[in-house]
Chain A
Amino acid sequence: MGIEAGTVMLGIIGPEVVLVVAALGLMVADIIIKDERERQFLVWIGVAGILGSLAVSASLWGREVAYGFYGMVVVDNFSTFFTLLFLVAGGLTLLMSHRYVQERKLSPGEYYTLTLFATCGMVLMGKSTDLIMIFLGLEVLSVSLYVLVGYVRGSDKGVEASLKYFLLGAFSSGFLLYGIALLYGATGSTRLAEIGAAIAQKGLLGEPMLLAGMGLLLTGFGFKIAMVPFHMWAPDVYEGAPSPITGFMSVGVKAAAFAALLRVFAGSLPGLGIQWKEVLWLGSILTMTLGNVTALMQTNIKRMLAYSSIAHAGYILIGVVAGGETGTTAVLYYLLVYTLMNLGAFAVVVAIEQKDEKRLELLDYAGMGTRHPALGAAMAVFMFSLAGIPPLSGFMGKFYIFSAAVKEGYLGLTIIGVLNSLVSVYYYLRVTVMMFMKEPEAEITPVLFHPSLVVVLIIALFFTLQMGLFPSTYLHIARESIKIFL
Chain B
Amino acid sequence: MINYIWMVTLFPLIGVVLNGLAGVKFPRKVTGAIGSLAILGSFLTACLIFAEVLRLPAAQRTSEVVLFTWIACGSLLVNIGFLVDPLSLVMLLTVSGVSFIIHIYSMGYMAEDEGFRRYFTYLNLFVFFMLILVSANSFLLMFVGWEGVGLCSYLLIGFWYQRRAPADAGKKAFVVNRIGDYGFLLAMMLIFVTFKTLDFSTVFAAAPHTLESGGLAVTLITLLLFLGACGKSAQIPLYVWLPDAMEGPTPVSALIHAATMVTAGVYMVVRCSVLYSLAPLSMDVVAIIGCLTAIYAASIGLMQNDIKRVLAYSTISQLGYMFLACGVGAFSAGIFHLVTHAFFKALLFLGAGSVMHGMAGELDMRKMGALKSKMPWTYWTFLIGTLALAGIFPFAGFFSKDEILWDVLQKSTVLWAGGAIGAFMTAFYMFRAVFMTFHGESRVDEQVHVHESPRVMLIPLGVLALLSVAGGFIGLPLIEGGNRLKEFLVPVIALAGHGAAAQHGAHEAGFEAVMMVVSLGVALAGIALAWLMYIKNPAVPEKLSERLSGLYRLIYNKYFVDEACAAVIVEPVKNGSLFLWRACDNKVIDGAVNGSGAVMLRASRILQRVQTGMVQGYALGFVGGVIAVLYIVFAM
Contact = CB atoms under 8 A, between A and B. Distances in A.
Complex: A in contact with B (CB within 8 Å): yes
A222 B625 contact: yes
Contacts of A293: 600, 603-604, 607
Interface stretch (A36-44, A134-142, A229-237, A330-338): A229-237
B164 interface: no
Given A235-B611, A294-B604, A212 B630 contact: yes
A38 B512 CA distance: 88
A296 B604 contact: yes
Contacts of A275: 632-633, 636
B618 A219 contact: no
B547 interface: no
Contact of B619 (A171, A228, A374, A423): A171
Contacts of B69: 470, 472
A426 interface: yes
Interface in B596-624: 597, 600-601, 603-605, 607-608, 611, 613, 615, 617-619, 621-622, 624
A304 B182 CA distance: 40
Contacts of A377: 21
Interface size class on chain A is 35 or more
Contact of B622 (A163, A223, A276, A470): A223
Given A167-B615, A297-B601, A470-B70, A229 B633 contact: no
A250 interface: no
Contact of B634 (A211, A230, A472): A211
Nearest to A229: B625
Contacts of A172: 622
A216 B626 contact: yes
Contacts of B630: 211-212, 215-216
Interface string A460-484: 0000000001101000000000000
B629 interface: yes
B622 A215 contact: no
Given A211-B634, A215-B633, A296-B601, A168 B611 contact: no
B600 A423 contact: yes
A296 B600 contact: yes
A138 B605 CA distance: 34
A10 interface: no
B631 to A, nearest CB: 9
Contacts of B617: 232
Interface in A335-387: 373-374, 377
Nearest to A178: B626
B68 interface: yes
A282 interface: yes
A214 B607 CA distance: 29
B30 to A, nearest CB: 18
A94 B608 CA distance: 32
A229 B622 CA distance: 6
A276 B24 CA distance: 55
B601, B615, B618, B633 — most chain A CB neighbours (10 Å) = B633
B539 interface: no
B633 A276 contact: yes
A168 B615 contact: yes
B621 A232 contact: yes
A407 B604 CA distance: 32
A218 B622 contact: no
Given A232-B621, A235-B611, A275-B632, A175 B626 contact: yes
Nearest to B607: A294
Contacts of A469: 70
Contact of A212 (B68, B601, B611, B633): B633
Interface string B437-474: 00000000000000000000000000000000000000
A236 B613 contact: yes
B203 to A, nearest CB: 22
B506 interface: no
B542 to A, nearest CB: 55
A279 interface: yes
Contact of A229 (B601, B624, B634): B624
A372 to B, nearest CB: 11
Contact of A426 (B597, B603, B625): B597
B44 interface: no
A211 B625 contact: no
Nearest to A172: B622
A216 to B, nearest CB: 7
B632 A279 contact: yes
A168 B614 CA distance: 11
A290 interface: yes
Nearest to A167: B615
A212, A229, A295 — most chain B CB neighbours (10 Å) = A229
B193 interface: no
B76 interface: no
B56 interface: no
A325 interface: no
Contacts of B605: 297
B540 interface: no
B1 interface: no
A167 B619 contact: yes
Contacts of A167: 615, 619
B628 interface: yes
B72 interface: yes
Given A293-B600, A297-B608, A219 B629 contact: yes
A212, A230, A290 — most chain B CB neighbours (10 Å) = A230
B605, B624, B636 — most chain A CB neighbours (10 Å) = B636
A208 interface: yes
Contacts of A229: 621-622, 624-625, 628
Contacts of A294: 604, 607-608, 611
Contacts of A164: 615, 618
Contacts of B628: 229
A472 B617 CA distance: 45
A351 B170 CA distance: 39
Contacts of A211: 630, 633-634
Contacts of B611: 232, 235-236, 294
B80 to A, nearest CB: 8
B9 to A, nearest CB: 15
Contact of A168 (B68, B597, B608, B622): B622
A274 interface: yes
Interface string A226-251: 00111011011000000000000000
Contacts of B629: 215, 218-219, 222, 279
B618 A168 contact: yes
Contact of A274 (B603, B604, B621, B636): B636
Contacts of A216: 626, 630
Contacts of A470: 68-70
B632 A278 contact: yes
Given A290-B607, A297-B601, A233 B618 contact: yes
A426 B601 CA distance: 11
A470 B70 CA distance: 6
Nearest to A400: B73
A466 B460 CA distance: 39
10 contacts: A168-B618, A172-B622, A208-B634, A219-B622, A223-B622, A229-B625, A293-B600, A296-B601, A297-B601, A472-B72
Interface of A: 163-164, 167-168, 171-172, 175, 208, 211-212, 214-216, 218-219, 222-223, 228-230, 232-233, 235-236, 274-276, 278-279, 282, 290, 293-297, 373-374, 377, 423, 426, 469-470, 472
Interface of B: 21, 24, 68-72, 597, 600-601, 603-605, 607-608, 611, 613, 615, 617-619, 621-622, 624-626, 628-630, 632-634, 636
9 residue pairs, one from A and one from B, having the closest CB atoms? A232-B618, A229-B625, A297-B604, A296-B604, A215-B633, A215-B630, A294-B607, A275-B636, A275-B633
Given A164-B618, A212-B630, A297-B605, 16 more contacts: A164-B615, A175-B626, A215-B626, A215-B632, A216-B626, A219-B625, A219-B626, A223-B622, A230-B625, A232-B611, A275-B632, A294-B607, A296-B604, A297-B601, A374-B21, A470-B70
